[in-house]
Amino acid sequence: EIVVTQSPATLSLSPGERATLSCRASQSVSSYLAWYQQKPGQSPRLLMYDASNRATGIPVRFSGSGSGTDFTLTISSLEPEDCAVYYCLQRSSWPRTFGQGTKLEIK
């Protein structure tokens, strides 16, 4: 099983600041990694797929990078509505595995 580890666990930033979230896989997943956003009381929403492709309707301030074992989700200029938990998911092999999540707080 591929273990996916996210850091930091919690991130607290102000509106307009840049957020950098990390995801590390225990072995290479090539570019088969997605990022999801889950706001309180809501279902997860797909943000990025194949590491760097924005899903439909996702604002351009969200970007993703990485391949192999190390990946990054960047939010270039935080908005208050970006307050959420962010998860990464690898689809390189079964079982699919999610990271434990990064909680992003907006000051």
Q: Which residues, in sequence order, are CB contacts of 71 under 8 Å at separation 6+?
A: 22, 23, 24, 25, 33, 51, 64, 65, 88
Contact between 64 and other proteins per CB under 8 A: no
- Quote the CA–CA distance of 17 and 95 in Å, as a whole number: 36
Task: For residue 81, give the 3-state DSSP assignment.
Answer: helix
Region binding other proteins by CB under 8 A among candidate stretches 14-22, 58-66, 76-84, 85-93: 85-93
Residue 24, interface with other proteins (CB under 8 A)? no
Asked whether position 46 contacts other proteins by CB under 8 A, the answer is yes
Q: Are 48 and 72 in contact (CB under 8 A)?
A: no
CB of 96 to other proteins, least distance (A): 4
Q: Which residues bind other proteins (CB under 8 A)?
A: 1, 34, 36, 38, 43-46, 49, 55, 85, 87, 89, 91, 94-101
